[in-house]
Amino acid sequence: MQLNGSDVIVECLLEQGVDTIFGYPGGAVLNIYDALYKYSDKIRHVITAHEQAACHAADGYSRSTGRTGVVLATSGPGATNLVTGIATAYMDSVPLIAITGNVTRNLLGLDSFQEVDICGITMPVTKHNYIVKDPAKLPEIIREAFRIANEGRKGPVLIDIPKDITAAMIEYEKQEPLKSEYHDPDTTEAEIAEAAELIKNCERPFIYAGGGVVAADAVDEMKELVRKCNAPVALSLMGQCAYDNSAENYIGMLGMHGTKAAAKAVSNCDLMIVLGSRFSDRVLCNPNTFAKNAHIIHIEIDPAEIGKNISVYHHVTGDVKHAIARLNELLPDMQHPEWYNEVMGWKRDYEVHMQPIEREDEVLPDQVIAELDRLTDGKAIISTEVGQHQMWAAQYYNFKCPRSFASSGGLGTMGYGLGAAMGCKVGNPDRTVVNIAGDGSFFMNCNELSSLAKHKLPVIELVFENDVLGMVRQWQRLFYGKRFSQTNIERGTDFMKLAEAFGIEGVRITKKDEITDGLKKALEYAAAGRPVLVDVVINKDVNVLPMVPAGADVSQPIMEIDLEN
């Protein structure tokens, strides 16, 4: 049947099971928005205050639901405002479709009003991108984009559509979604079998998992592998909800701000089993000394990551869910009591804690996050901005459920979390969603409080207010002679008045004995369907510990910082 291009776009989205789009209208996408008006009973559109937040919302929606996020923006500045969000999704392997409008085909390349080469701009940060120049190819391109976004290592795909394409009459016939290929079982079988033999013959196994386990929905398979191996477990930042953080054998995050127990396990294991993680520099710290006494098995879907940052003894290139399931079939139940008890001793001896600061009644972030964890039973969806608070969330919230953590790991995008929290809440309306922020990040996206109010999204925005850019300041303290250049922000904003101005609830916590009641009040507001801003006032000298200096051995973290000198 014949439909105009905009109707074809929406019909193709419906084919893919899309029920929500995040975006912001403009001239080049008016035809698409007209179609969305007609299809409003089938697809929900969530408008944000800024296109970047819309892209982060689509990202958070995807991470928390396992479905492909969709964001829509107009040409020129609307499209370029998506770039940081697209790059964030690319670095963290999040399946996302970005649809941008452009000027009509006859105006392309003429520096027309609000024209930009968004395909050229986003080429390094997308798995693939398209500019549609033939109306007849529009359905095929949209279907292929969804397949590419979800095939192999997942990621964002951009489709740039000139305005006259959205008005053209196109032949449309409904099709079933194209299937994505995740692995080739025939080529990985021998690799898996060899990995099983290495695991059977090791004495000190250590399992380290990343975001790939969550992306592959392999959490249950990993849990069974851990049981069979009787191994201690550590996670990357991106893998925080891949394993129950309250489990006895979970020894914390690994890397620059990971636990010393995890670092000692890396240094003393004889076999390190790495599941769906890419060995970022924040994990390796010093690749020349990392796991130097161990054989490393790397199970990873992206062949480009094998041996890229560190040499490994053996690898399995393929879908981690399939690989772990096959390993579980090949492995017997094993016990390593001497090794296991030694690692559990390290976990007790090097428990992560915060240095006290000045006053006994002063609020410490670990107390706030630990109480939030207790009140939500570790089952809330937590998003974060980027900075000290991000590390505190990973260190002190005990994630119990998969797809419960949304944070910018690879790109480190300040301003990511509030948009992501909106997407998480839209995709999971029955779950508690909390965005944990620092005031530095908060000032990058506080305009999105208006989006919470508009859409009545009962997200809890929890801000640690210390009037500094805490993580950068921490580095200045340690490595720049305490020359705190431009990290004391001190904007003088009254957060409670700001909440009132945006039409949302406000809660302020300034003393230790206010933590429980303040968080309970925030959770009650959210349960009643009301968004809330929680202002937690903390000391500017609270630091993230442990901390491995750049280039140092991961097993030698800084455990305390002298605040007097």
Domain boundary among 140, 171, 202: 171
Structure tokens at 87: 């790059």
Structure tokens at 201: 């013959």
Q: 262, 259, 196, 252: which is closest to 229 by C-alpha?
A: 196
Q: Any idea what the Cα angle at residue 535 is, between residues 242 and 507, rounded to 5°?
A: 105
Residue 49's alpha-carbon distances to 55, 201, 422, 445, in angstroms, are: 11, 56, 12, 9
Residue 32 shares a structural domain with residue 92 = yes
Residue 248 lies in a domain: yes
Domain boundary among 290, 316, 349: 349
Q: Taking 80 as the threshold, does the pLDDT of residue 434 lie above it?
A: yes
What is the average per-residue pLDDT within 364-372?
Answer: 97
Structure tokens at 13: 């989205």
Residue 170's alpha-carbon distances to 108, 145, 165, 484, in angstroms, are: 21, 18, 9, 60
Residue 173's alpha-carbon distances to 14, 16, 33, 38, 140, in angstroms, are: 13, 14, 22, 19, 11
pTM above 0.85, yes or no: yes
Q: Please, which residues bridge with residue 536 across strands?
A: 464, 509
Residue 565's pLDDT is: 65
**Cβ-based burial of 330 (10 A; exposed 0-12, middle 13-18, buried ≥19):** middle
Q: Taking 70 as the threshold, does the pLDDT of residue 2 lie above it?
A: yes
What is the average per-residue pLDDT within 489-499?
Answer: 96
CA distance 219 to 401: 9
Residue 211 shares a structural domain with residue 164 = no
What is the average per-residue pLDDT within 476-498?
Answer: 96
Residues serving a catalytic function are 51, 113-114, 163, 471
Phi/psi at 532 (5° precision):
-145, 140
Residue 519 lies in a domain: yes
Q: How many CA atoms does the CB half-sphere of 367 hold within 13 Å?
A: 21
The count of structural domains within the chain is 3
Residue 158 shares a structural domain with residue 211 = no
What is the average per-residue pLDDT within 206-233?
Answer: 98
Q: Taking 90 as the threshold, does the pLDDT of residue 471 lie above it?
A: yes
Residue 176 lies in a domain: no
Residue 492 lies in a domain: yes
Q: Please, which residues bridge with residue 208 across strands?
A: 234, 274
Q: Is 43 helix (H, G, I), strand (E, B) or coil?
A: coil
Residue 415 shares a structural domain with residue 532 = yes
Residue 562's pLDDT is: 83
Among 349-358, 403-412, 498-507, the least confident range: 349-358
Q: Taking 90 as the threshold, does the pLDDT of residue 231 lie above it?
A: yes
Residue 213 shares a structural domain with residue 260 = yes
Residue that the structure tokens 């944000």 belong to: 48
Q: Is 409 helix (H, G, I), strand (E, B) or coil?
A: coil
Mean pLDDT of the chain: 96
Residue 195 shares a structural domain with residue 164 = no
Residue 120 shares a structural domain with residue 205 = no
Q: How many other C-beta atoms are found inside a 10 Å radius of the C-beta of residue 295?
A: 16
Residue 44 lies in a domain: yes
Q: Taking 80 as the threshold, does the pLDDT of residue 440 lie above it?
A: yes
What is the average per-residue pLDDT within 201-220?
Answer: 98
Band of residue 28 on the pLDDT scale cut at 50, 70, 90: very high
Residue 173's pLDDT is: 96
Residue 65 shares a structural domain with residue 160 = yes
Residue 159 lies in a domain: yes
Which one has a higher pLDDT value, 233 or 178? 233
> For 532-548, how does the pLDDT look when each residue is reduced to its tens digit (9 = 90+)?
999 999 999 999 999 99
Residue 360 lies in a domain: no
Peptide bond preceding 135 in cis form (omega within 30 of 0): no
Q: Are 16 and 139 in contact (CB under 8 A)?
A: no
Structure tokens at 55: 């892209």
Q: Are 244 and 403 in contact (CB under 8 A)?
A: no
Residue 551's pLDDT is: 86
Residue 184's pLDDT is: 66
The residues near 134 (Cβ < 8 Å, ≥ 6 apart) are: none
What is the average per-residue pLDDT within 70-88?
Answer: 98
Helix (H) or strand (E) holding 197: helix 185-201
Q: Any idea what the Cα angle at residue 165 is, between residues 161 and 167, rounded to 5°?
A: 125
Band of residue 183 on the pLDDT scale cut at 50, 70, 90: low
Residue 510's pLDDT is: 97
Residue 166 shares a structural domain with residue 226 = no
What is the average per-residue pLDDT within 88-114?
Answer: 96
What is the average per-residue pLDDT within 145-173?
Answer: 97
CA distance 363 to 367: 7
Largest CA distance in the chain: 76
**Cβ-based burial of 24 (10 A; exposed 0-12, middle 13-18, buried ≥19):** buried
Residue 381 shares a structural domain with residue 298 = no
CA distance 183 to 114: 42
CATH of the domain at 238: 3.40.50.1220
Q: Taking 80 as the threshold, does the pLDDT of residue 49 lie above it?
A: yes
- The domain of 231 spans 185-349
Sign of CA dihedral 52, 386, 364, 243: positive
Residue 485 shares a structural domain with residue 432 = yes
Question: Residues in the chain, how many?
Answer: 565
CA distance 165 to 37: 18
Domain boundary among 290, 318, 349: 349
Residue 336 shares a structural domain with residue 190 = yes
> For 116-125, how does the pLDDT look when each residue is reduced to its tens digit (9 = 90+)?
999 999 999 9
CATH of the domain at 123: 3.40.50.970
CA distance 464 to 536: 5
Band of residue 181 on the pLDDT scale cut at 50, 70, 90: low
Residue 182's pLDDT is: 59
What is the average per-residue pLDDT within 435-463?
Answer: 98
Q: Taking 80 as the threshold, does the pLDDT of residue 178 lie above it?
A: no
Q: Are 265 and 232 in contact (CB under 8 A)?
A: yes
Q: Are 253 and 262 in contact (CB under 8 A)?
A: yes
Residue 10 lies in a domain: yes
